[in-house]
Amino acid sequence: MATEGQQSNTSQRLPLELIAECTGSKLWIIMKNDKELVGTLRGFDDYVNMVLEDVTEFENTPEGIRTNQLDQILLNGNNICLLIPGGSGPLGDQ
Amino acid sequence: MSAGAHSKSPSDFLKLVLGRPVIVKLNSGVVYKGILACLDGYMNIAMEQTEEYVNDQLIHKYGDAFIRGNNVLYISTQTSKKKKLLVEFRHHRQ
Amino acid sequence: MSDEGQKNNQDGGMVEEPLDLVRLSLDENIYVKLKGDRELYGKLHAYDQHLNMVLGNVEETVTLREIDEETYEEIVKKEKRKMEMLFVRGDAVILISPPVRI
C-alpha cells in the first residue's frame, strides 16, 4: 500500500509540498534543542536544509529568551523538530 | 521543486558564500567566524582565519579549521548589524 | 566544487573538499576538539571518511567545570595526560585544526 500509494495518490499532499508553498513567506522553526528561529524561506532541499532570510534566532536560557538577528543563513535540517507556516514566533505577533 | 524568481536553494546559497566571510554556529552554541574555503554534502566545513567565540567572547584563533558537519546548526553570511541581546521572560510563552 | 573554493597550500596540495584539509595534515601535529570538553594534540597517523583517526604522541586536555556551592563562581579545571597512541571515533569530533604552516 505504502509503496505505490505515495506516487499515484493525488489527494494526499506530501509534507515537502507544504514547505514548498511556504517559499517566500515567513516560517517559524522549532529545533530539537532549546532553539527556535523565524525567517523568510528562500529555498530548501530534500533533507530540509533551508535558506532563510531576515532571521531571528531565539534561544531559551534560564535567564529568559536570547535573540539574535541574521541576514541570511543556511540552516542544517538535521536538528529541526517542527515547522510552522506563518512565523509568529515564540513571543507571538510582534 | 521550489522554483521561482526569489527562490534560492541551499546549493545556490553555498555558491554565493564560498570564499566569503561567514559565521558558522554549532548546536553547542559555539560560533566560528572566518572565510569559507569549502564544504561537502555532510556540511563538513573547511575555514580559514577562523575565530572561535563562546558567549560572544573570542577564545581561540585557528589558521585553518575543519568542522565536522554533524555539529553545524547554520552557516550565515556575516552581518554588519550589531547583535541584539534581548531578555524576555518565560511567561511570554504559555 | 568551484574554483573559488580552491586554495593552494604551501606544500602544493589543493583543498577542494573539507577532508583535503585533514589529508594534508597526515604525519603532522594537529589539534582536535572533541565533544565532552576534550582536546587533543597529536601526530595524525591515519583517518577515514568518518573522521575516525589514529593519533600518536598525544596530549589530552579535559576541561572540568564546577560551580562553587558558596560563591556560585564557575571553577574551571584542566587535566592533562599523555598517551602513546590512540584511536578517535569520528562522531566525537567537532573541529580539527592543522599546524600553522610557515
ipTM: 0.81
Q: Is the pLDDT of residue A93 over 70?
A: no
Topology of domain B8-68 in CATH is: SH3 type barrels. (2.30.30)
Would you give the DSSP letter of residue C57?
E
Residue A60's H or E segment, with its range, is: strand A50-61
**Residue that the C-alpha cell 523565524 belongs to:** A38
- Strands B31-39 vs A35-44: parallel, antiparallel or unpaired: unpaired
- Per-state percent for chain A, helix, strand, coil, to nearest 5: 20, 50, 35
pLDDT of residue C13: 64
pLDDT of residue A11: 72
pLDDT of residue C10: 46
Higher pLDDT, A91 or B17: B17
Q: How far is A83 from chain B (nearest CA, A)?
A: 16
Cβ–Cβ under 8 Å, residues A40 and A73: no
Residue C21 with chain B: CB contacts under 8 Å: 37, 46, 64-66
> What mean pLDDT is predicted for residues A41-66?
93
Distance CA A91, CA A89 (A): 6
Cβ–Cβ under 8 Å, residues B79 and B54: no
pLDDT of residue A79: 93
Asked if residue A59 is part of any domain, the answer here is yes
Residue B77 with chain A: CB contacts under 8 Å: 71-73
Residue B19 with chain C: CB contacts under 8 Å: 4-5
Name the domain count of chain A. 1
pLDDT of residue B90: 40
pLDDT of residue A10: 64
CATH number of the domain at A69, please: 2.30.30.100
Distance CA B36, CA A29 (A): 25
- Choose, out of A55, A56, A57, A76, the residue to mutate when testing the contact with B (most B CBs < 10 Å): A76
Number of H helices and number of E strands within chain C? 1, 5
The structural domains of chain C, ordered by start, are: 18-97 (2.30.30.100)
Q: Is the pLDDT of residue A69 over 80?
A: yes
Domain range enclosing A78: 15-85
Q: Which residues lie below 8 Å from residue A62, measured CB to CB, with a gap of 6+?
A: none
* Domain parsing of chain B, residue ranges: 8-68
pLDDT of residue C2: 41
Nearest CA in chain B to A58: B86
pLDDT of residue A87: 74
pLDDT of residue C14: 73
Torsion A76-A80-A83-A89 (CA) sign: negative
Instruction: Write out chain C's pLDDT in tens, 102 residues.
Output: 444 444 454 444 677 899 999 999 999 999 999 999 999 999 999 999 999 999 999 999 999 988 888 888 888 999 999 999 999 999 999 999 997 654
Show the cell assigned to C18: 573539507
Q: What is the pLDDT of residues B20-65, one digit of tens each?
A: 999 999 999 999 999 999 999 899 999 999 999 999 999 999 999 9
pTM of the model: 0.82
Q: What is the pLDDT of residues A72-85, one digit of tens each?
A: 999 999 999 999 99
- Residue C88 burial by CB count (10 A; 0-12/13-18/19+): exposed, middle or buried? buried
CB contact under 8 A, B63 and C100: yes
Task: List the Cα angle A27/A32/A36 in 5-degree steps.
Answer: 35
Dihedral angle at the C-alpha atoms of A12, A16, A17, A20, nearest 10 degrees? Answer: 170
Hey, is the C-beta of B37 within 8 angstroms of any chain C C-beta?
yes
A10: left (phi over 0), alpha (psi -120 to 50) or beta: alpha
Contact B/A (≥3 CB pairs under 8 Å): yes
